[in-house]
Chain A
Amino acid sequence: MSHDFLQMHLKAVISCLLIFLYKVHTTKAGQFFSSGHTNNWAVLVCTSRFWFNYRHVANTLSVYRSVKRLGIPDSHIVLMLADDMACNYRNPKPATVFSHKNMELNVYGDDVEVDYRGYEVTVENFLRVLTGRLPPSTPRSKRLLSDDRSNILIYLTGHGGNGFLKFQDSEEISNMELADAFEQMWQKRRYNELLFIIDTCQGASMYERFYSPNLMALASSQVGEDSLSHQPDLAIGVHLMDKYTFYLLEFLEEVHPASQANMNDLFKVCPQSQCVSTPGHRTDLFQRDPGSVLITDFFGSVRKVEITKDTINLTSPVEPPIQRSGSGDIQIESLTYVDQLPVAEIIHQKPKQKDWHPPDGFILGLWTLILLVFFQTYGIKHLKHIF
């Protein structure tokens, strides 16, 4: 009986131990591999033009500032601003865009890099950036070079309505187009997880039609509601920020690269008491639980780095390029600068003739030849017919 008791005891202890080890294994390893992404990208778009839409540019720049502060480098951010507010002639403080009144916080900063600006911010360019179908000569800073292990943050702001978002007061993008663009991105494996934030009127209508996996969406207002702007600044004369993005900026200012804040905290940003509109979110297409998704998974660029203490041997240094042999070898003739305004040369410049013309005097020579041949055959006495 004692033998049985001992065996039972042993089994219980062993099973307890196994359970402990399993839990440790999943929590530690689970934490390590929970997000599955290796790089972060951000596409931040402001779609409005004209000075009175200052707040949309300030919205986009405040998200840009947070994203840069949390670690995403400029090469991984595609920033599209439809109009220039900072150096606008109406701006009383040039090269600044403020988000708080009394000019407390300049979100434009000193090292901003705008990739698409002015007339380049169109629906076509936006969709081309998302799907990667850009002309071959597009520079790298204007491309979204994401792969299947990228977490992408997409932020849109501007004027919108039920099912559409207005670009620069002349065209619009519909929610179906956006959903199809995301499906194209999924088919081409251009993202691992995507967070879509939109701050426009009736913003929730823009994420209604999404159908691709691994998408999470946030909007500043429901269908039928308007998103409101926050506060005007009397010196600048326009509203500085929208309410939702203002409180989002305040929330993100508390986030640092090591913080453990998760998406559930983000969903609570700007309740109706502060925002007047009801922010909405959509997580049914997202595979992980939002409570386990860190804010820095999308807004920051925290990489998993393995530090090793082994030494690595590099290959031998590169051969220096073959030096040209010194003076006296090849070029002895001296080079000269060109005359900047060679008047004589210009006046006698022959005009470039694209079409071929016969050389000068050709017709005259031809007629002379014809006459000579005629008089050769028929004799010189026919000359009197000419003269």
Chain B
Amino acid sequence: MAAHRCGLSVVCILIFSSLAHPSSCDTLEKANDNTATKRRISEVNTDGSVAGEDMNERQWQSTDVEVNRSDGTKNGETFAPAKDQFQEELVIRPLHSGDIYASFQFRTLWDTDFLQEGQKKVSHYRLFPKSLGQVLSKFSVQELHISFTQGFWRTMQWGQPFIPSPPGAELWVWFHDTVSDVDGNWKELTNVLSGIFCASLNFIDMTNTVQPSASFKPLGLGNATDHRFLRYATLPREIVCTENLTPWKKLLPCGSKAGLAVLMKSEKLFHSSFHSQAVHIRPICQDEQCTSKAWELRQTLNVVFDHYTSGQGKKEWSLFKMFSRTLTEACPLASSSKVYVDITDNPEGELFELSPATPLLSQAVVLGDRRTYSVYDLTRAETFGQLRSFNLLLRWKGDSGDMLRPLLHAERYVAGFGLQTGEIHTVIYNNHPYRAFPVLLMDSVPWYLQLYIHTLTVTSKSRDNKPSYIHYQPAKDRHRPHLLEMLIQLPPHSMTEVTVQFERALLKWTEYTPDPNHGFYVGSSVVSALVPSMVAMSTNFTQDQPLFSSFVPVKEESSYFVRVYTEPLLVNLPTPDFSMPYNVICLTCTVVAVGYGSFYNLLTRTFQVDEPSPPLAKRLANFIRRIRGVPLLA
């Protein structure tokens, strides 16, 4: 009986121990188990797209099948066909100095209406980036042009750029005429854009925003040209670096994974003497008759590599050398993807040699000149050859000689000495041999350079040249800057000089930047002109024009519109010594403490004889005596 009971207890113990055993196994293996779960969890999270999605996809596939069976309709039929298209192109122009000018243009055309009211808001974005679309509809933007530039465009050495931009950041916006508070919208728009492009555009406020009255007409469709809805601001100090390129690349439909955008490696792009990236949004005609409009988003990136003139390389270029990458495929979402190389100066191949050779040639009238281009179509598989990679090689053979002088060119500098007054000189050159044409000069000077407009002089060929239109809005201290717009007729083959004297203001000590001895920047002047062209420009709007020649709408055949930016100015304002408040406080407090303190002591101090405190035994004895009521010791 006892044995039976012992046996029973043993069996019970065995059962319980077997139950407990898995837990001990767990405790032993818990480290491994947890890491396994954690790895699975982390794989789901950090890889996210890889591991977890596989499982999810399997689940979604099963529901998909069910829906199909029950509905009987395909998914594609419930949505209307997309009405947006994307084109990308790269134009390479070898410059006379041996350098290369590369211009990327990405265009998304979308037939939709952002500014519609009463209808459902646009919510389905395909190729057009959602962040910009929401910005357009929220702030009722008609046109938006923003550019970030590092370096200065040297017109005399490089000719005219396809799309000009001033150094730093420039933003100009046309608002829709239904907007009631343009300034409020402008302020919020700059803040939102500073978040999208990782730039400090929130420094744009009323002290550097102007409202040009005749420059910067809309580049897109529109009939309302009331300049109350235009705002222009420039930040000449803005730095452009990888953190601005990253969000810019993310706006592209293919990102930087396919197509021409794979060439955008920041280490190579910023190692150049000119780098400019811009976003232009405007409504344009959809077709010849221009009965309906579509929204166009153009992202442009212009870069000039000067490895030869700066002595770092030979006179030989390839895509791999410039961008550290070759092209492997066109963006699958693009309807056209082309590379153009300007071979106008090389008709017989005596100047440079281009490989791989291509039979495709295209002629385009751009900037008043007819240029010939070799075209490489990346949507065709044979462009990539056997190796599935496209590397353009350009080898210079001869010396190119001097460049034709550009017809319009402008410079600006500060004259004078000292920290009180100065003079701004703007020099505009008209290099056309026999034609005169008008230019519109726009100057926006910050309020702390107080212009004396009565000293404004415009001289051409050392004679006074009176402008036919002057618009001047004086500055208000700490509220708005100076705006000076003048329409000047430039005589042929001449130099026109515009001078104005100014006085430098002393800022309040909190208004100085943390590095005031660097100086303060004054934004570039803008010279807008209709320059007579050597070749008749076509006013027909055709869809298959290359992108770089169709940016500015052409209204007449004999001239083309060009905008030239001058250098920004760097002026030193009278700067106080910022350590002075500390020095003054130390000195004053020392003087007060030593001088007044000792004087006060002299007057009010009295001396008393002070007996030293008696030793402990005596104090104890005195205490006992006090209790007894007996007189105390001395």
Contacts and interface: CB of A to CB of B under 8 A. Distances in A.
Interface stretch (B158-166, B197-205, B363-371): B197-205
B20 A20 contact: yes
B220 A337 contact: yes
B122 interface: yes
Nearest to A92: B271
Contacts of A70: 46
Given A95-B270, A95-B271, A96-B267, A170 B38 contact: no
B242 A112 contact: yes
A169 B265 CA distance: 34
A332 B552 contact: no
Nearest to B440: A341
Given A321-B122, A335-B290, A340-B552, A307 B198 contact: no
Contact of A337 (B265, B555, B578): B555
A105 interface: no
A225 interface: no
A137 B269 contact: no
B27 interface: yes
A242 to B, nearest CB: 21
Contact of B44 (A118, A140, A305, A331): A305
Interface residues of A, number: 91
A117 B240 CA distance: 11
A13 B27 CA distance: 19
B9 A117 contact: no
Interface in A130-160: 135, 137-142
A339 B271 contact: no
Interface stretch (A177-185, A186-194, A279-287, A309-317): A309-317
B293 interface: yes
B555 A346 contact: no
B5 interface: yes
B79 interface: yes
A119 B200 contact: yes
B124 A321 contact: yes
Contacts of A16: 16, 20
B315 interface: no
A341 B242 contact: no
Interface in B221-248: 221-223, 225, 237, 239-243, 246-247
Interface in B469-495: 469, 471, 487
A139 B42 contact: no
Interface string A188-217: 000000000000000000000000000000
Given A86-B241, A119-B203, A24 B198 contact: no
B8 interface: yes
A85 to B, nearest CB: 9
Contacts of A317: 75, 78
A314 B46 CA distance: 26
B12 interface: yes
Max chain A Cβ within 10 angstroms of own Cβ: one of B13, B240, B269, B552: B13
Contact of A17 (B16, B219, B246): B16
Nearest to B221: A335
A331 B218 CA distance: 21
Contact of A50 (B243, B269, B515): B515
A118 B187 CA distance: 20
A322 interface: yes
A20 B24 contact: yes
Max chain A Cβ within 10 angstroms of own Cβ: one of B80, B217, B438, B528: B217
B23 interface: yes
A71 B42 contact: yes
Interface string A316-353: 01101111100100011111111111110011010110
B242 A338 contact: no
B561 interface: yes
Contact of A343 (B187, B223, B241, B487): B487
B381 to A, nearest CB: 29
B62 interface: yes
Interface stretch (A2-10, A227-235, A266-274): A2-10
Nearest to B121: A321
A31 B38 CA distance: 11
A69 to B, nearest CB: 9
Interface of B: 1-2, 5-6, 8-9, 12-13, 16, 19-20, 23-24, 26-27, 30-31, 34-35, 38-42, 44-46, 52, 55, 59, 62-63, 75, 78-80, 113, 119-120, 122-124, 150, 187-188, 191-192, 194-196, 198-200, 202-203, 213-214, 217-223, 225, 237, 239-243, 246-247, 265-267, 269-271, 285, 289-293, 438, 440, 468-469, 471, 487, 513-515, 528-530, 552-553, 555, 561, 578
- 3 smallest CB-CB distances across A and B, nearest first, come from A139-B195, A337-B553, A87-B241
25 contacts: A3-B5, A9-B13, A13-B12, A14-B16, A24-B26, A95-B269, A95-B271, A109-B242, A111-B246, A117-B243, A141-B195, A258-B39, A305-B44, A305-B45, A307-B40, A307-B52, A320-B78, A321-B123, A327-B292, A331-B291, A335-B221, A336-B221, A338-B218, A340-B528, A341-B528
Given A2-B5, A258-B42, A303-B45, 11 more contacts: A27-B27, A71-B42, A110-B242, A111-B242, A120-B202, A120-B203, A140-B195, A141-B195, A307-B55, A334-B291, A338-B217
Interface of A: 2-3, 5-6, 9-10, 13-14, 16-17, 20-21, 23-24, 27-28, 31, 49-50, 70-71, 84, 86-87, 93-96, 108-120, 135, 137-142, 168-170, 257-258, 260, 301-305, 307, 309, 311-314, 317-318, 320-324, 327, 331-343, 346-347, 349, 351-352
